[in-house]
Amino acid sequence: MGKYWKYIYVLFFIFLFFNLITDSPDKKVERKQNEIKFSDFVDKAKKGELESIVIKGDIVEGTLKSSKDNNDKNSDENGEKSESKKFTSKVIFYPRLLDILEEKAIPTEIKIDEVSGITFTKIIDIFVSLLWIVMIIFIFRSLKSDKFSIGKTNIKMFTSDMQKVRFSDVLGADEAKQEVAEIVDFLSDPTKYSRLGAKIPKGVLLVGAPGTGKTLLAKAIAGEAGVPFFSTSGSEFVEMFVGVGASRVRALFEQAKKSAPCLVFIDEIDAVGRHRGSGYGGGNDEREQTLNQLLVEMDGFETNAGIIIIAATNRVDVLDDALLRPGRFDRQVYIDLPDLKGREAILKKYINEVDILSDVDIASVARGTPGFSGAELANLVNEAAIIAARKNKKKISQDDFEYARDKILMGLEHKSRTMSPAELKNTAYHEAGHALCSVLLPEVDPIHKATIVPRGQALGLVQQLPERDKVSVNITEIRSNIAVALAGRISEETFFGKDKITTGASSDIQAATKYARNSVVFWGLSPKVGTVYYGEREKYPISEETSREIDLEVKRMIDEGYKLAKSTISKHKTTLEKLAKALLEYETLTGDEVRAIVKGKKIKLTKKIDVAKNRIERISTLPLTTKKKIKQEEKKK
């Protein structure tokens, strides 16, 4: 029957169209009954029996005056006057008609714009009506389409045969997998728990930094259990129309109940689950109504109904407390950034998908990527492949991985950046100061690379890589790191004087200040301020006196680090000069090469790049006199 509706619509609109362009049947009958001959119309006009007329093209419409005779015919039996009678007539050419009407003072109205048949006004009415018809058709069709399905969610359903992800695909999150393993067991065999009266959590909240694999873990749970998997996002429930989000929540749970046992995954739930009362509109805005409906629906099905809600967020601190109470998302699974072992496993997974040389040290790449998430490690492998392809290599080498990591962490090399000889020498001594203190000071992460090639916003850098993942630091390590950060500025001051120090140490000063301030306000490592938390001053206001004490303690720790770096550089001034000259000659030194120079070993450094050529290219925009000086220096060497 549905396919015939469109023909019914067409017939209805055709009828409506003809009804608009033609007079109604009732109007035609009325006009026929009141019509008089033109001669009678003229005769009544001459006798003055017309009360008023309206001339519309070739049609005359008017009313007759009430008739009066000697027998008082104008009154009925009750003595009331008879009503005026309407009439119509067709006008033919009669030159004296207007003179007669004027002579008898008959009110006359002439409507020139109206003609018989389809009038201009009717055409406008037809056009407007057609617009309304088109709009109504569009609305009805849109309501049937997906983009205007107001009460439906844009939910993706994956059946058990579509689920290819397993726990073995989730790497670097062993503890999280153990935490959710019982959910898989429950979905696979619910009676195992229900017969003992055990209750499985209704909701599981996956918490972790972006890229740690929260969505992947949720898919793996469904894949291991072999149940349908519904995937949606918190933003799908938030609309501008109040009530739409709540309707979509109801539709989601109705669909899930039909496919139970199943998993419902809501990504970025903080889009809809934020604290109530924090937005505009009080408790009546769309987001809060949607959250209320979500809370009700989670209480609306039995624990053993076979529906488990899994949500993911990296902002658990903004979620409403009602979401986190027992009975809703009462289990929180934290997915941390992968450790060294996890990073190595993730790298092996992605490296197996590309061609690499046999001498690539995956463990070294993993050690050089602390703090990388799984998504960032995948990006690292992809960047290395792109770099190797750009160089027309057949396989990816260790250098490609190193370059890709440096590019991600610090930006591209700026080989074309203009640097004068003085700036280049200053940068070399600056980075040599960092490198020297990195080797000599206690409990500092091993140096991995020192370079004076500009990268990102830095003119040069010294890179350190930890030997293991760290969860805490001690006071000695903090003091040494502050000294390493300030060593570049101190080296400039020692070899070029206070009047020649540059602004290149701005990021170093920020790093040193951050170490010192965190030690005082967060970590309680200041004996004078004490073990008190002063981190969030907007939540925990502090007095002016305490604030001053904090500033003094930060300054004291900075001064201690400054003195430590200065004494170290003063004692090993000759070694620092050797490092600076090696950087000027080779531009980049590995950690092993730096440590060998500091220890005084005689080693033969091999040029990895044509340093002289690159340096000339980098200063190609300098004045000719400066270029000549540089070329002369290169020839002397």
Which residues belong to the active site? Answer: 431
β-partners of residue 111 are 56
Q: Give every strand in the sheet of 156-158, ordered side by side.
A: 156-158, 229-233, 262-267, 307-313, 203-208, 331-335
CA distances from residue 566 to 153, 309, 429, 489, 491 in whole angstroms, order as listed:
64, 59, 14, 10, 8
CA separation for the pair 304, 299 (Å, rounded): 12
HEC per residue, 447-515: EEEEECCCECCECCEEEECCCCCCCCCCHHHHHHHHHHHHHHHHHHHHHHCHHHCCHHHHHHHHHHHHH
Phi, psi torsion values for 363, nearest 5 degrees: -60, -40
CA 248 to chain centroid, in Å, comes to: 21
Of 506, 500, 487, residue with least CA distance to 576: 487
Q: Give every strand in the sheet of 85-90, ordered side by side.
A: 85-90, 59-64, 50-56, 108-111
Long-range Cβ contacts of 497-506 (<8 Å, 24+ apart): 500/426, 502/426, 502/430, 504/426, 504/427, 504/430, 504/459, 505/430
β-partners of residue 231 are 156, 265
Tokens in use for 232?
């949606």
Taking a C-beta distance cutoff of 8 angstroms, is the pair 92, 38 a contact?
yes
Q: What residue ranges in 81-228 does DSSP mark as E strands?
A: 85-90, 108-111, 156-158, 203-208
User: Cβ contacts of residue 454 below 8 Å, gap of 6+?
Assistant: 413, 414, 415, 417, 419, 460
Of 202, 207, 203, 228, residue with least CA distance to 217: 207
Length of the chain (residues): 637
List % helix, strand, coil for the chain (3-state, nearest 5). Answer: 55, 10, 35
User: Cβ contacts of residue 390 below 8 Å, gap of 6+?
Assistant: none
